[in-house]
Chain A
Amino acid sequence: KNEVEQSPQNLTAQEGEFITINCSYSVGISALHWLQQHPGGGIVSLFMLSSGKKKHGRLIATINIQEKHSSLHITASHPRDSAVYICAVIGGGADGLTFGKGTHLIIQP
């Protein structure tokens, strides 16, 4: 069973700061997802990664398969980035994603 750990659990930063959220997992995977959950609960997929790095706007996600670690970076953070960011993994022939507990990010103006 894969254990997915995220850090930090909570993060408060000022607008414009560079944000890093980390995710580690215990068992090899086929892919890792970064997801965003806003108050009210809806989940939006940001990235799916199997290797390397992906960039979308101000968001960058990286993964190191050997170290079983991924990071999500937000450049030039903005209050609208305030949300819970969740790491989820899939692998081992499973259909379902295994989720981390999420990182609650607050960006203050």
Chain B
Amino acid sequence: EPEVTQTPSHQVTQMGQEVILRCVPISNHLYFYWYRQILGQKVEFLVSFYNNEISEKSEIFDDQFSVERPDGSNFTLKIRSTKLEDSAMYFCASSEGRAVPYEQYFGPGTRLTVT
């Protein structure tokens, strides 16, 4: 069964460094998403992406964040200058279409630790 994959599974970085989290969505899916989950808290929506541009973003997704689909398979989340509070689990998701009836499929997540 096709699945969303994410790399790396765990990334440790120092405050102020740039990080790029990578995702390979399911191949025929057109919508891509990033979510994050700070330890002990609920999952939060960051951004959605369609047709090579941001479709929607939350107030969390400030100028420190950017997303890109650099080729036909990868979807990336870049954090320009990491802060301690960026430490979280980051989930990528993809769907065939937008909203109902299309289901979002989640990747296994990347645990980002900022020290």
A98 interface residue per 8 A CB criterion: yes
Q: Which of A18-26, A42-50, A72-80 contacts the other chain?
A: A42-50
| Cα A51 to Cα B101 with chains together (Å) | 12
| Cα A101 to Cα B106 with chains together (Å) | 17
Greatest chain B CB density within 10 A among A42, A43, A90, A91 is at A43
Number of interface residues of A (CB under 8 A): 25
Residues of B contacting A42 with CB < 8 Å? Answer: 106-109
A-B contact count (CB 8 A): 68
Q: State the main secondary structure of chain B at its contact with A.
A: strand
Q: A95-B55, A95-B56, A99-B43 are in contact. Are A45 and B104 (CB under 8 A)?
A: yes
| Cα A50 to Cα B103 with chains together (Å) | 12
User: A: which residues have CB within 8 A of B?
Assistant: 30-31, 33, 35, 41-45, 48, 50, 86, 88, 90-91, 93-102
